[in-house]
Amino acid sequence: MTRKRLREYIDQPKNALAREPMLVWAATLEHSTWRTLVDVKATFPATDHLSRETVCFDIGGNKWRIIANIDYRHEIVYLVWIGSHAEYNKL
């Protein structure tokens, strides 16, 4: 996972409320083993499948979104985009 990108987002004062839910998401991610989208959805049921390797995680009761590419083979999550639900709706 791209920790630096996540840290940059949650360290911004305007995103202070996102800090705790995103850190919980990241900690859960660290302890998960995903081989398929089914595994991801078992951990995070509200995850949306956007393409073959791209998913959208709902964070903090759907207040924020994280779009990520998942390399299932190497168990690596690459953050593509982080923002509020309102910002996501503008994409």
CATH assignment of 3-89, among 1.10.1760, 1.10.260, 3.30.2310, 1.10.10: 3.30.2310
Quick one: tokens of 88?
Answer: 């996501």
Q: Where are the alpha helices (DSSP H) in the chain?
A: 3-10, 19-30, 37-43, 85-89
Q: What is the mean pLDDT of residues 66-71?
A: 96
Q: With contact defined as beta carbons under 8 Å apart, do 59 and 65 qualify? A: yes
CA gap 47, 40 in Å, rounded: 8
CA gap 16, 4 in Å, rounded: 16
Task: Tell me the per-residue pLDDT of 2-56, one tens digit each, with 9 for 90 and over.
Answer: 689 999 999 999 999 999 999 999 999 999 999 999 999 999 999 999 998 999 9
Q: State the pTM of this model.
A: 0.91
